[in-house]
């Protein structure tokens, strides 16, 4: 049988071909899984290449970076502080205080405590902490502030060989040098070097200096508790120094417990030892201060250091970087403040019990030119120029400016009769016996300021819509910080105690420092433009680079006119904050010319100001003030006793603000302004608008009645019984002027007129009082 044979050559192709072969159908799109695998493959390749490059780069850097010689400026340089002229020196901060000792003289408890606090893997790691570096890198990549991740070895390298710059370049170099140091020094040598160079605060570098600075003993004699404190403090010397306040001591205790817990976990001490030590911090002996802080210099340097902290400088930088700091202080103003106090302080009264705070601020710049803080800094670190007390009637100019912003004028009238009774039963009285002096139910704003009439100011505050809140706002804008610190309204210090929007705010229950009160009055003197008070003008590095320069600027304080109220000047022009300041200044000039501040006339040049006293919860006078200004300088003077709340009445020969405070102010200003031009204040603008409440129109005497002579052969000039006598707008009590002393029975001018025996009541909608004093009679001058 015959069959067909396949011809020689390649087989013929059929129509059914395998996928992927010629003639196959087009391939479909890759699945999501295929795409992920493809990306992962290429990502791995790229990652491997980057890793190889990184390793190669690290190896290259490791071989090319040599261990340098220790920093030429290893001996840290102190920072110098100068007066405003930039030449005469105020003083300097901590001179380098370092004494190296061998590790064997450092107690084991100290060594263990530092390791537990700073680097618990110190004895086993290679000098760097990769996890910490990665954690810091992620944090920095997310926009957080540059974060550290240093081991003890890295910290030692940074101190000894590098600088304080916080950058990735420095961190890489730090890590490489740490690895190299690890190969050339033992762990014990690294720990010894670290403990002899690290900064502990109080100007102390190394454990020996720190031991003496904190516990007045050598490091070898430190106890477990003392060792744990020093190990805790070095993490953040300023924050954990218990001498800086209760909050700092509380923070130290938390860190201290953490350190002891770490020591117990590492087996350095038993749990029982840790528990016993955690019960309390060790005792901190009083360390004798260095003489360079004597007299007022210590207070000056403390203000400068505090402001440096506000500007972001650490204590370590301040004490070691050799800054040249130019302040706002002038020798003339500082000497004037001290000499004025010593001249006018009552004989036989010393700084230990009688505390006098003085502050002089330059209008337009906010520069604190001079101050007197009280006791020698070596005897007491309380600066009464920055501490303050209840301000009494010296706050009233803020109410005046607020009233003018809200449509009232200097001629508008308020109730000056006493007492002024609130709906809840609290009555406010003027100075004088019994119910206080009556001044009439229509006293002008100017006269109320001149005579410091309490009831008129309470009426004024109540007659301003949301008056107390607006008064507080005006105070903040003028330079008096709020109760809660804010960058918007800074000050020295940065907060005021009891500055609350209640009905008594106009009587001055708030506790404010003389520095901030002087700055508020400087705002009035500067036409209603606030300049933030400050003490640092410039900071220069030891190489001459300007690191900081105060940027001069002002902020309007008296331009917040009430909505819908068209406030104009006497010339018919729209009122400005400068106009409000001019009228407020005019009212305060009357205090000096005719009122409670007449002792300031001895200055012999135009001046404006306000007296004030305040009472404590026992009804005793606890503070006495005068705050005043010329166009060139604003100065506040405060007298307090003991802890700032003790009674002045019955102890000080006179406790009126019109007496010692005003005389002291005059003595200070006479010296501070000696040789300067006599400048005048602007004329009042007489701003006026639509008053927000009725019944406060300027007083208009009624027309005199026509006299009808009686039929008589002998004419007489005596008016008939129906004749109405012309009342006076502003009855002035006779006798020696005094501000509202705020004490029942403190004395008053004799023959004080009274136009009404009835008690005043606030208009509807008036704020009710709150806080201390509720339900009792209040007198505050």
CA distances from 699 to 418, 525, 621 (A): 19, 29, 34
In this predicted structure, the answer to whether residue 201 has a pLDDT above a threshold of 50 is: yes
- Listed ranges 87-96, 244-253, 623-632; the one with the highest mean pLDDT: 623-632
CB 537 within 8 A of CB 84: yes
d(CA 746, CA 624): 14
Q: What pLDDT, in 10s, does the model give residues 360-405?
A: 999 999 999 999 999 999 889 999 999 989 999 999 999 999 999 9
Nearest one of 738, 774, 757 to 427, comparing CA atoms: 774
Handedness of CA 410, 414, 420, 425 (dihedral sign): negative
Handedness of CA 531, 536, 538, 541 (dihedral sign): negative
In this predicted structure, the answer to whether residue 579 has a pLDDT above a threshold of 60 is: yes
Residues of the chain above pLDDT 70, percent: 75
CA distances from 523 to 223, 468, 608, 647, 666 (A): 54, 20, 13, 32, 20
Residue 395's pLDDT is what? 98
Residue 561's pLDDT is what? 87
The alpha-helical segments, DSSP class H, found in 364-420 are 384-387, 396-405
Q: What pLDDT, in 10s, does the model give residues 164-193?
A: 444 455 556 656 665 667 677 888 988 998
d(CA 640, CA 351): 10
Helix (H) or strand (E) holding 475: helix 467-478
Average pLDDT over residues 732-745: 35
Residues of the chain above pLDDT 90, percent: 56
Residue 47's pLDDT is what? 72
Residue 565's pLDDT is what? 79
Q: What pLDDT, in 10s, does the model give residues 701-737?
A: 766 665 554 444 333 333 333 333 333 344 433 333 3
Cis peptide before 629 (omega within 30 of 0): no
In 3-state terms, what secondary structure has residue 592?
Answer: helix
In this predicted structure, the answer to whether residue 145 has a pLDDT above a threshold of 80 is: no
d(CA 329, CA 340): 17
Average pLDDT over residues 316-338: 94
In this predicted structure, the answer to whether residue 752 has a pLDDT above a threshold of 50 is: no
Lowest-pLDDT range, 81-95, 330-344, 731-745?
A: 731-745
Residue 424's pLDDT is what? 81
In this predicted structure, the answer to whether residue 9 has a pLDDT above a threshold of 60 is: no
Residue 769's pLDDT is what? 34
Residue 94's pLDDT is what? 65
Nearest one of 498, 465, 466, 468 to 482, comparing CA atoms: 498
- Listed ranges 228-237, 562-571, 753-762; the one with the highest mean pLDDT: 228-237
Lowest-pLDDT range, 12-21, 116-125, 210-219?
A: 12-21
In this predicted structure, the answer to whether residue 17 has a pLDDT above a threshold of 50 is: no
Residue 142's pLDDT is what? 54
Nearest one of 521, 549, 661 to 599, comparing CA atoms: 661
Average pLDDT over residues 97-123: 91
CB 514 within 8 A of CB 358: yes
Residue 100's pLDDT is what? 81
Which residues lie below 8 Å from residue 368, measured CB to CB, with a gap of 6+?
Answer: 303, 328, 329, 359, 360, 361, 492, 515, 533, 534, 535
In 3-state terms, what secondary structure has residue 688?
Answer: strand
pLDDT class of 348 with cuts at 50, 70, 90: confident
pTM of the model: 0.69
Q: What pLDDT, in 10s, does the model give residues 490-541?
A: 999 999 999 999 988 999 999 999 999 999 999 999 999 999 999 999 999 9
In this predicted structure, the answer to whether residue 462 has a pLDDT above a threshold of 70 is: yes
CA 600 to chain centre: 30
CB 401 within 8 A of CB 752: no
In this predicted structure, the answer to whether residue 582 has a pLDDT above a threshold of 80 is: yes
Lowest-pLDDT range, 24-38, 276-290, 698-712?
A: 698-712
d(CA 658, CA 598): 8
Lowest-pLDDT range, 63-77, 620-634, 669-683?
A: 63-77
Residue 741's pLDDT is what? 37
Task: Write down the mean pLDDT value for the chain.
Answer: 81
In this predicted structure, the answer to whether residue 105 has a pLDDT above a threshold of 60 is: yes
């Amino acid at each position: 049988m015959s069959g067909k044979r396949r011809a020689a050559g390649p087989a013929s192709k059929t129509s059914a071909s395998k996928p992927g072969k010629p003639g196959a159908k087009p391939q479909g799109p890759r699945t999501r899984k295929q795409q992920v695998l493809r990306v992962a493959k290429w990502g791995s390749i790229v990652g491997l290449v980057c890793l190889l490059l990184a390793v190669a780069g690290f190896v290259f850097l490791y071989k090319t970076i040599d261990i340098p010689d220790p920093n030429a400026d290893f001996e840290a340089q102190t920072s110098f502080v100068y007066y405003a002229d930039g030449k005469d020196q105020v003083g300097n901060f901590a001179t380098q205080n370092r004494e190296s000792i061998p590790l064997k003289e450092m107690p084991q408890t100290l060594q263990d405590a530092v390791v537990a606090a700073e680097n618990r893997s110190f004895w086993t790691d290679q000098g760097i902490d990769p996890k910490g570096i990665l954690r810091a890198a992620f944090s920095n990549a997310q926009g957080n502030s540059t974060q550290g991740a240093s081991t003890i070895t890295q910290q030692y390298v940074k101190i000894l060989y590098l600088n304080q710059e916080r950058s990735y370049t420095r961190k890489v170099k730090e890590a490489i040098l740490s690895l190299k140091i690890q190969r050339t020094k033992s762990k014990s040598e690294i720990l010894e070097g670290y403990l002899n160079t690290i900064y502990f605060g109080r100007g102390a570098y190394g454990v020996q200096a720190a031991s003496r600075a904190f516990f007045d003993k050598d490091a070898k004699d430190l106890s477990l508790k003392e060792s744990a404190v020093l190990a805790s403090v070095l993490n953040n010397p300023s924050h954990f120094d218990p001498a800086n306040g209760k909050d700092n001591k509380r923070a130290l205790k938390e860190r201290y417990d953490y350190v002891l817990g770490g020591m117990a976990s590492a087996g350095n001490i038993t749990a029982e030892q840790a528990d016993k030590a955690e019960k309390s911090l060790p005792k901190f002996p009083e360390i004798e201060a260095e003489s360079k802080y004597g007299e007022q210099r210590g207070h000056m340097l403390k203000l400068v250091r505090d402001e440096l902290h506000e500007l972001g400088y650490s204590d370590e930088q301040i004490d070691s970087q050799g800054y040249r700091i130019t302040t706002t202080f002038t020798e003339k103003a500082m000497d004037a403040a001290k000499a004025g106090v010593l001249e006018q302080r009552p004989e036989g009264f010393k700084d230990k019990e009688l505390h006098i705070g003085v502050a002089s601020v330059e209008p337009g710049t906010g520069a604190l030119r001079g101050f007197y803080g009280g006791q020698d800094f070596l005897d007491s670190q309380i600066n009464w120029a920055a501490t303050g007390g209840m301000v009494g009637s010296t706050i009233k100019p803020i109410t005046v400016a607020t009233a003018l912003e809200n449509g009232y004028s200097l001629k508008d009238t308020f109730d000056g009769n006493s007492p002024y009774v609130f709906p809840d039963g609290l009555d406010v009285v003027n100075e004088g016996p019994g119910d206080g002096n009556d001044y009439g139910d229509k006293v002008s704003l100017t006269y109320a300021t001149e005579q410091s009439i309490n009831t008129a100011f309470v009426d004024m505050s109540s007659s301003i819509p949301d008056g107390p809140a607006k008064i507080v706002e005006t105070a903040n804008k003028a330079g008096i910080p709020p109760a809660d610190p804010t960058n918007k309204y800074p000050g020295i210090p940065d907060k005021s105690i009891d500055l609350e929007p209640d009905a008594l705010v106009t009587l001055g229950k708030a506790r404010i420092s003389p520095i901030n009160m002087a700055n508020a009055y400087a705002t009035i003197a500067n036409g209603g433009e606030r300049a933030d008070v400050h003490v640092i003008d410039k900071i220069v590095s030891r190489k001459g680079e300007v690191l900081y320069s105060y940027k001069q600027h002002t902020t309007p304080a008296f331009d917040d006119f009430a909505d819908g109220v068209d406030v104009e000047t006497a010339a018919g022009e729209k009122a400005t904050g400068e106009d409000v300041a001019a009228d407020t200044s005019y009212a305060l000039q009357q205090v000096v010319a005719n009122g409670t501040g007449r002792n300031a006339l001895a200055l012999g040049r135009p001046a404006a100001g306000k007296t004030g006293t305040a009472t404590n919860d026992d009804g005793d006078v606890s503070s006495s003030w005068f705050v005043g200004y010329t166009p060139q300088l604003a100065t506040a003077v405060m007298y307090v006793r003991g802890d700032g709340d003790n009674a002045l009445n019955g102890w000080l020969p006179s406790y009126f603000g019109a007496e010692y405070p005003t005389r002291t102010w005059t003595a200070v200003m006479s010296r501070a302004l000696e040789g300067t031009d006599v400048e005048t204040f602007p004329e009042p603008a007489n701003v006026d608008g639509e008053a927000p409440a009725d019944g406060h129109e300027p007083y208009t005497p009624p027309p005199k009645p026509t006299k009808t002579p009686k039929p008589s052969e002998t004419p007489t000039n005596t008016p008939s019984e129906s004749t109405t006598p012309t009342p006076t707008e502003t009855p002035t009590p006779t006798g020696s002027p005094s501000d509202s002393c705020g004490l029942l029975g403190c004395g008053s001018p004799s023959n004080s007129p009274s136009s009404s025996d009835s008690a005043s009541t606030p208009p509807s909608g008036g704020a009710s009082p709150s806080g201390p004093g509720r339900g009792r009679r209040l007198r505050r001058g």
